[in-house]
Structure 1
């Protein structure tokens, strides 16, 4: 399933958070949004998983206007890991993961054998199967993040939307999660702050600045020193990864920038 944002704008009061954003996520590809804090990345994602209605523009799923779909229909196609995806209720890990089947459920029917196996497999894939009977409030931030990824997988989406999925994860689980994303074979739109991780996992990258798309292309096309300094305000040297050839950024603080806390 392909995803396309067409002239997407989001205004809150007098502030325009996203401005005329047009970006395509082809079927089966991984596309990342990067940019400084407050550049509109999470706001754009909220329009895709329907937590926010755009002021102008359209989100298309396989040529169908997302806003015209019934909520259950869109929930069967799009799964989201949000920055606010936690739970205040102490469900067990297994119960949280099983909630991923909600868009497919009818009434109070219990999970069938296939769905139970789907939940078990998803927990294994993100390394939380040993936590199945633990209350989710007893988990670390990284463990909770992996539980929520398992819930997304159980939803069997055709489009996966991930907002900072590596938050709270140690290096091993960051690599494991992004490898899983790469191998999932579904359409993925994600926000990452780590540009080196974005270069490793994304087929294409869109760069946002002040709500506008200022660059779009492959990691090699987009992650160049001139753009990094212009958008992020830091000097960077780009070198190829010795094993994969992916661009990797080595940062140097801009000597002309004022130190934090000074004027």
Structure 2
């Protein structure tokens, strides 16, 4: 095991995956601005550790493509609608991050240059190197892929050290801890174990891509203030899914 010196970061360039539902706060739908402000402040504090930070945000607080498709729309159209929801969320989070004192840029896999920059790898890397928090919207730009898969794809492209999966629980459990009091938390898993156990933290395509890219996935709770910075430093309660 490598021993880190005090103050040394466990992960120097990370991709933080934030679900759309995390932005709802106490609301049943849409955006809860105090919650967005808190998450933005956490991201700014995490950047102040010296880490380079990219963020992929989901769109489930506004529209989830797979769910809408089951109501009659074709899947491709529904997924594109879901991708647009992620752009709205990223723009809101970008503004909150700037209010909190850090430069930020939204880049979308679906080109919409009058609203935000189109995603391309080299500009994203330049923004990261200049200390900007980079919000990556629009998923992969293709239907049938979740934002979890998009997060792992972007993390691999941008040579991130880890994917930080921010959830409502402090790691990966043997069962849903909200409904099963006997559920226990894993401290560490391999990608193969996560796939074999069919753990629902990320979809199988995301786990498989992370395994191929040898990317660790750190699963932690975003509910605690400062949780993102703690995870980047390798502190706090979390589950690490790694080779």
Pair in the same fold by TM > 0.5: no
Higher radius of gyration, 1 or 2: 1
TM-score (norm. length: structure 1): 0.30
TM-score (norm. length: structure 2): 0.32
